[in-house]
Structure 1
Amino acid sequence: MNKQLKASDSPPLIFPVSAGIYSGSFKTDSLSAYEQLIFLYRNLCDRKVEASAIHSYGIHTALNGDMDESLNIFTEALSINATLKNNAGVIKNHQSMMRIHAFMGNYFNAVKLGNTLVDLSLISQNDVSLADTYLLLSQIFISQNNFKDAENLVMKKALPLLYYKLNDKIGAIKCYDQLAFNYKSQKRFSEAKWFYIQSNLLARKIGHSESIVNSLINLAHVKMAIGDWQLALNDIQEAEQLSVKNQYKFQLIEIKKDLFELYSKLGNLNAANLALLQFKQLEEEYLVSVQ
């Protein structure tokens, strides 16, 4: 979810505002970057941009771990966008709130928001938002072991919309991955492997290296689940080469952990110990980078 939230917004620059009225209270201390933006646009009477700044603040708050407060902030942004009849803003607010509720396990609220998003997307003819909502609803249904509805949403709605109408190959790859994860969750490994292979083939066809890496990792996990250790190792080694070449540091963390397990299973203890050492080093570097 963090990756989705980060991708949906860009942090604003800090404006040189040191004090003023924000949310009805006078502040003599320095305002945060987001509060400065909101304060600035509120005083400029640009409510649309103010709502966007508030939404950014909600994402910042969620990434810092305060989910309840982020929902309050998104609600404030939603109120402004609804008053302005800014449909794009309303959809954006609903999407973030839906993701937060899903992350917190509040599936009833997440599904309710998802159904609202479907209606809003249909009314505004926003096919991208519609497809994204179908995929997110499918994830929620999988979390609830509602595998059939999850499958139908992707197979009958999201995939045709993305592949044929929008010609969005990256979106189609996400659909294949979602279907594969659905089957893997049910331990239907043959079907899961087939869809991960489709994801891999399409990623190679369009030359999308990150999707190739992700599909190789997912394929390896299925093969590990059924005890095909050597075949899984082949996939992980290729994923490692591509990740090093493209500097996919986050994927490398998972790859090194998988290599430790695979080499251990295959009896190569020296390689396993090296992979474990590299995993711990990469994990520590990543944790330091996000603090």
Structure 2
Amino acid sequence: MLSKKTNSLRILIVLLIAQLLSPNLEAQVANKIDPSGYIHKYNASFNGIGPTVYILPAPRSKEELLSDSYKAKVNFADTIIFALAFQDLLADFKSTSNAIISKELVNENNKTIESLTQYIDQELIQQNYVLAYGLLNESARFSLEQNNPTQSINFLLDALMHAQKTTHINDIASIQYNLAILYLFTRNNERAAEFQDKYYSYSVNNRLPVEQANSLVKIALIQAFDRDYRSAENTIIRKAIPLFNKNKAYEGKINAWKQLATIYQMQNKHAEAQWFLLQARDLANSKNLISELAEIEYMLASSKMIQKNYKVAQKELQQAQTLAIAENNKYLELAIQDKIGNIYMIFNEYEQAETSLKSYWVLREEIF
């Protein structure tokens, strides 16, 4: 009698233990199938139609999604750099002596390129070459603003041809200068050098030392793009800078330091680049030339990032951002936002990185 009761009690205990262990066994089976632990319900005894279990990828973390968003915008960085160079090109474009009337007439007749060309042809029929080359120069500017540098060059070549029928040497020189900077922008270095040399000769012959120095800086850039870095460095240091110093042309000197820094950056010589940028920054501060500072800080930060000195680069970018906003320089703001967000990601500062990315997209959609 006692033996039967004992056996019954043992069976009851075994059943209770099995019931208690059943979830753990199922969990162990699930863990083998899904080590990530995202399966919360799993019937290990399932024997129906279909696979035993569907294994889905684990949900991506917020940090992983943010990292993907940053990787997706990497290739657009080149477009931003191009836009900054394009902005500088437009600012550097020279006007002719009759630019006011020429620009007004171009604005009135630029509905299509054909209508603009027809209007210019009418002036040429009347042999009004002065107005014609002014119109062509402004048409070149208009084409450039429409992001058509090839058409802009064609207008300028026509402008030069008709300007050379006159005695207006200053306007001829301005058109030659515009051709030089456009050819440099489109990386036709040979033609860029040809027209920049002509502008340099004009500035020497007419005793325009500041223009002479500015032209030398352009010649140095052409030399750098031809990989003749030593000549480029010497052209600025030994020829352009003394002219700027002699004539107290501080803005020109600051620009020369910046272009020299660019030439060193092209060679991956970032210590040298930063030294000249610091000279430019000190001079800009001492002469209260605030408009130069944003780009200088940005260039300093760019070199620091390549050297992986991210803490200092972050401070310089924040300073550059403040200055760029004050200048309303949207292209530079976007370039800064692009880099500063990358630093936040490097430091795993995901909240700041997310905020920076939102600002980046607001600017990018506004500009592009």
Q: Does 1:138 align with 2:185?
A: no
Structure 1 residue matching 2:136: 3-state secondary structure = helix
CA distance in 1, matches of 2:86, 2:210: 20
- Residue 103 of structure 2 corresponds to which residue in structure 1? 12
Q: Which runs of 5+ in 2 are unaligned?
A: 1-84
Tell which deviates more after alignment, 6-15 or 277-286: 6-15
Cα-to-partner distance string for 1:201-250 (whole Å, 9 max, x where unaligned): 11111222221111111111111111111111111111122223333222
CA distance in 1, matches of 2:106, 2:263: 46
Q: Give 2:360's match in structure 1, choosing from 274, 279, 282.
A: 279
Task: Give the alignment's TM-score, normalised by structure 1.
Answer: 0.85
Tell which deviates more after alignment, 37-46 or 151-160: 37-46
Contact 2:106 2:135 (C-alpha < 8 Å) held by counterparts? no
Q: Does 1:93 align with 2:93?
A: no
Tell which deviates more after alignment, 218-227 or 235-244: 235-244
- Residue 230 of structure 1 corresponds to which residue in structure 2? 311
Contact 2:106 2:138 (C-alpha < 8 Å) held by counterparts? no
Contact 2:274 2:303 (C-alpha < 8 Å) held by counterparts? yes
Contact 2:105 2:135 (C-alpha < 8 Å) held by counterparts? no
Cα-to-partner distance string for 1:112-142 (whole Å, 9 max, x where unaligned): 2222222222122233432222111211222
- Residue 200 of structure 2 corresponds to which residue in structure 1? 118
Contact 1:220 1:236 (C-alpha < 8 Å) held by counterparts? yes
Contact 1:38 1:53 (C-alpha < 8 Å) held by counterparts? yes
Contact 1:34 1:53 (C-alpha < 8 Å) held by counterparts? no
Q: Equivalences for 1:233-244 in 2 at 5 Å?
A: 233-244=314-325
Contact 2:129 2:165 (C-alpha < 8 Å) held by counterparts? no
CA distance in 1, matches of 2:180, 2:122: 28
Count residues in correspondence.
276
Q: 1:284 to 1:31 in 2, by over 3 A?
A: closer
Q: Which has the higher contact order (CA 8 A, sep 6+)?
A: 2
Q: Which runs of 5+ in 1 are unaligned?
A: 19-28
Contact 1:135 1:154 (C-alpha < 8 Å) held by counterparts? yes
Q: 1:6 to 1:178 in 2, by over 3 A?
A: closer
Q: Give 1:51's match in structure 2, choosing from 133, 136, 155.
A: 133
Letter in 1 for 2:262: F
Q: Give 1:3's match in structure 2, choosing from 84, 87, 92.
A: 87
CA distance in 1, matches of 2:208, 2:280: 25
- Residue 63 of structure 2 corresponds to which residue in structure 1? none
CA distance in 1, matches of 2:136, 2:313: 45
% identity of equivalent residues: 19
- Residue 292 of structure 2 corresponds to which residue in structure 1? 211
Q: 1:173 to 1:34 in 2, by over 3 A?
A: farther
Shift of 1:156: 1.4
Shift of 1:32: 7.0
Q: Give 1:260's match in structure 2, choosing from 321, 335, 341.
A: 341
- Residue 59 of structure 2 corresponds to which residue in structure 1? none
- Over the residues paired in the alignment, what is the CA RMSD in angstroms? 2.6
Task: Give the alignment's TM-score, normalised by structure 2.
Answer: 0.68
Q: 1:85 to 1:162 in 2, by over 3 A?
A: same
CA distance in 2, matches of 1:95, 1:76: 14
Q: Does 1:269 align with 2:350?
A: yes
Structure 1 residue matching 2:164: 3-state secondary structure = helix
Q: Does 1:248 align with 2:329?
A: yes
Contact 1:163 1:171 (C-alpha < 8 Å) held by counterparts? no
Contact 1:5 1:96 (C-alpha < 8 Å) held by counterparts? no
CA distance in 2, matches of 1:243, 1:213: 6
- Residue 75 of structure 2 corresponds to which residue in structure 1? none
Shift of 1:151: 0.5
Q: Does 1:198 align with 2:303?
A: no
Shift of 1:172: 0.6
CA distance in 1, matches of 2:180, 2:107: 34
Q: Which runs of 4+ in 1 moved over 6 A?
A: 15-18, 29-33
CA distance in 1, matches of 2:302, 2:108: 51
